[in-house]
Every structure is written in structure tokens, then in C-alpha cells.
A and B are shown apart, each in its own frame.
Chain A
Amino acid sequence: MSTPEINNASKIALIPLLAALVALVGLGDSVYLTVQHYKNELPPCEIVHGCELVLTSAWSEILGVPTSLFGAIAYFIAFALALLAAFGNRSLWTLFGVQAVLMSLFTLWLLYLQGYVIGAFCQFCLLSAITTFTLLILFIVSKLFRAK
């Protein structure tokens, strides 16, 4: 409470905390997908949507590692950075921003694959896209807020 810097940090801490919670949702989603991948259990092909096409496509793995595992690791890092930032570590919040940008770029690529290459969307992957973009938006909002 002694320096104005800490004061400032504790003011904005709400947004990093929120980001940490959002990252947890993404973490849960990608861990679920990773486990399903290794279990080799698939939902049946329903008449309405084609999730399983996405989850078994060539892009469901990168160098033999399930894409969702990369997602899980990325979300865990994002979660850790956001939480540490929420407790006052400013420089890690910038690092979180870099992470959020990278994750968003990766997500854009995955969305492109689903929309234009595979031709089917998977609701679990879309949830992950939403959480990633939310992380980026939270970061941008925090920067705008600080600029004021």
C-alpha cells in the first residue's frame, strides 16, 4: 500500500483475474479434448453437425501431439501469467498480452481450417476460439483503461 505503483496495480487486478478465470475455461475445454483424443473415443456422426470430422482431421495433431494439448499448455501459461499479474506483477501482464496475441493468431488459423479446408466446425473448438479472443479483448481493454 506504500507506493502508488502497487495502488495502481491493485486497481486493474480485476481484469487479469477475470482473464485467469477465462483461461481456466479454455484449459478445461482443451484438457477434455486432449483426453478424448487419447482415449480414441468419438461422438457418433450426427445428422446435424460434424464435430468428429474436425477432431479426426489431419490438423487434430501437430507432429503427433494433439492440437488440443498445445491448447491446454497455452491456456495454462495464460492462466499462470494472468494470475500472477492479478497479484501485482505488471511485467507478466505484458507477457500475457504477447501470449494472447499468439494464441489468437493460432486460433484464426484453426478457424480458417475448419471453415475452408475441413468444411465443418466443432463446438468444442469454437468454445476455445471464444475464450482465446476473450483473453485478447480483456488485455486490450486493460491497456485502454490504463491509457486513460
Chain B
Amino acid sequence: MSNKNLPIFIIVIVLIAVVIAAIALFRNPGTTTPPPKNTNTNSNFADTYAKLPPGAQPSQSKGDPAAKVTIEEFGDFSCPTCGLFHQNLKDIEKSYGSKVRIIFRHFPLNNVRGHENSYNAARAAEAAGRQGRFWEMQNLLFTNQKTWTVMSEGEAKKTFSDYAKSIGIDVANFEQEMLGQLVSARIADDMNRGKAVPVNGTPTVIINGNRMLANNEIANLPDLRAVIEAEFQKAGAPAQSNSNQNAQ
């Protein structure tokens, strides 16, 4: 009877199907791209955006204030996707330099389990900012997020002080600032702006005040590049390629 061979036949079919499905899933760029749920149509969003509370002033930003492309991120230092986006932004910075302006806003999800150190991390970044080292600390926090995210509150704070030391900050002053009103007020201001967007998860990334980026545009570097290029095109200033022509 073929009864003996049938299961083996089915097993082989399933194995082949799994491999094909896995390859298809891997190649499909749109797997995590449900149409962005909060992406209102441009005009609607631009209206909302214009009316948002200002957030911390001055904002933590880098790049040319008159840049044609501005990326505003609401982030949480414990959030792995924010960590991934941070690495992508580093690449963007490498390619475009100050032509892309980057604004970082705090949106620590402290109530989410596993994000218990988020708020203190935000305070650490702002405290470093008081000594002009916000971006250095921001980079350290994101790069090492796996290390301090799982620590106890005390251990994490100690680690933040070590980071401060490593970027040449006055540690005593840093520790004092971390607990200060100035720092917590700035975070609260950013969060108020975020809540009005409204931010439902991190990172929430707004490009040129027009729309929020979709998940794939945050996580996939090529997609992010495409968005930025498109914004430069819209502004009539093709970015990378033109910089060479201008130089000629």
C-alpha cells in the first residue's frame, strides 16, 4: 500500500512549503508594513502638527536649522526599535550630514514592563545636555540599551554616571542635574507634545511636519533613504547627487 509512503510524501511537501514560505516572507519588504495607522492625510496632519504644544525649548536637535528635511523622533531609550532607528539615522547622517535636521524628543514608556529605566535614561541624556553632551549620551544610551535596560534602577543610574564620565562630563554635576527640575520639565514638555500627536508607540517619527513614517520606513534603511530622497525632490533640492554638481 502507498500508506507507508504517504506520510513521508507529506513531510517532504511541508518542508518544501516551509522553505518557500520563509524565503517569500524574507523577500517581501512589506511584511511589517500595515498602512500606517496614524498617518493622517498630509494636510490634516500638517494642521495638527502646526497646533502641537512646542515641546522642550530649545529642542535637542542637530543639523542645519534651515535644512530641507527635518526628522523629528519621539523615542524611548529602552525601545529596541528606537535603537534600530538610531543606527539607521547614523547612516543617514553619514550620507547627508547637516542637510538633514534631526530632532530628538523624549517619550519614555515607563509604564511598560521592561522599560523601567527609560525615564531615568531620558533624564541622563538631558542632564548630559546641560553640559553640552546630549548627543554623545543619546548615542551611548541607544548603543548600550541592552546592557542597562535589564538592570535594577540603582545599577542603571550608576551605569549612566559611568557613561557621563566616559564622555568627559563633570559627574557630580551630572548626577545633580539628573534629579533636577530643569531636566524633568524638559521631558514633560516633550511628552506633552508627543501625547498631542498622538504618539501610540515608539519610535514615532515625523518627517517635515507632514506625516509619520511607516514601520518599514523606520526599520529598513533603504526605505528610510527613499523617503528622505523624496522629500529633497519635493523641496527641489536633490540631495546627495547634487552636492557633487554644486561643487563643480
Query: Is there contact, CB below 8 Å, between B215 and A44?
Result: yes
Nearest first, the 9 closest Cβ-Cβ pairs linking A and B are A45-B79, A120-B114, A56-B80, A46-B201, A44-B201, A53-B114, A42-B81, A87-B7, A50-B114
CB of A47, distance to nearest CB on chain B (Å): 6
Query: Is there contact, CB below 8 Å, between A45 and B4?
Result: no
Residue interface mask B107-129, A partner, CB < 8 A = 1: 00101111110000000000000
Query: Is there contact, CB below 8 Å, between A120 and B113?
Result: yes
* Interface residue? B216 (CB, 8 A): yes
> Which of B13-21, B54-62, B98-106, B153-161 lies at the interface with chain A?
B13-21
Query: Is there contact, CB below 8 Å, between B219 and A50?
Result: no
Q: Could you say which interface size class chain B belongs to?
A: 35 or more
* Interface residue? B185 (CB, 8 A): no
Contacts of B25 in A (CB 8 A): 31-32, 35
Neighbour of A79 across the interface among B4, B11, B21, B78, CB < 8 A: B11
Query: Is there contact, CB below 8 Å, between A41 and B18?
Result: no
* Interface residue? B6 (CB, 8 A): yes
* Interface residue? A117 (CB, 8 A): yes
Binding site secondary structure of chain A: helix
* Interface residue? B165 (CB, 8 A): no
Query: Is there contact, CB below 8 Å, between B220 and A42?
Result: no
Tell me, in angstroms, the Cα distance from A22 to B76 when the chains sit together: 38
CB of B16, distance to nearest CB on chain A (Å): 12
Neighbour of B81 across the interface among A35, A38, A45, A57, CB < 8 A: A45
